[in-house]
Amino acid sequence: MMKTTLKLTTLALLASAATLTLAGGARSEKFMTLTLANQLAAAAVSACQASGYAVTATVVDRAGGIRALHRADNAGPHTIAASERKAFTSASAKNATTAMMETAQKNPGAANLVHIPGFLLLGGGMPVKAGNEVIGAIGVGGAPGGHLDDQCVVAALESVKEQLK
């Protein structure tokens, strides 16, 4: 009887500890759906095509994993890696790549950002936020200048803003 009581007490304590661990360590997060990722990538490519630029747009989740990649006809092969690295950089830092590039150029302490594997500090990468929460990022590569890649990203984000509230 004593062993049974001890076992039951031990099991009750373990169950209680597991519940406390979950309650203190679990949280809910919004996430990037495949539908949203494809909409963003398509909108960015379309915006750039309207300006005469053949680009690739890559959308990643909050961890930098690719959710969607759209490559325009005639987009250069280098645009795939450039767009993915811009998206990864933006998701990782939760910041626009243009702002990071400018900081690295002005601040010697931030200049080493260029040495982080996978980072690309050129314009064209921006976080995707649902409310105030970063759920991923989009990167565009292939327009003749990062500021033009940025314009395509802004147009894509504008096209889905109602879904991100």
Backbone φ/ψ region at 131: left (φ over 0), alpha (ψ -120 to 50), beta: left
Amino acid 123: pLDDT? 98
Q: Is residue 88 part of a domain?
A: yes
Instruction: Evaluate the CA torsion angle 130, 120, 56, 148 in order and state its sign.
Output: positive
Whichever domain contains 118, its CATH number is 3.30.450.150
Amino acid 52: pLDDT? 98
Q: How far apart are alpha carbons 138 and 68 in whole angstroms?
A: 9
14-33 core/surface letters (b: 16 or more CB in 10 A; e: else): eeeeeeeeeeeeeeeeeebe
Amino acid 18: pLDDT? 46
Alpha carbon dihedral 61, 64, 65, 70, in 10-degree steps, equals: 80
Q: How many domains does the chain have?
A: 1
Q: Is residue 81 part of a domain?
A: yes
Enter the pTM of the model.
0.84
Q: Is residue 122 part of a domain?
A: yes
Q: Is residue 25 part of a domain?
A: no
Q: Is residue 70 part of a domain?
A: yes
Nearest of 127, 124, 125 to residue 146 by alpha carbon: 124
Mean pLDDT, residues 43-67 taken together: 98
Q: Is residue 118 part of a domain?
A: yes
- Find the domain containing 100 and state its range: 34-164
Q: Is residue 135 part of a domain?
A: yes
Q: State pLDDT tens for residues 1-17.
A: 545 544 544 445 445 54
Q: Is residue 115 part of a domain?
A: yes
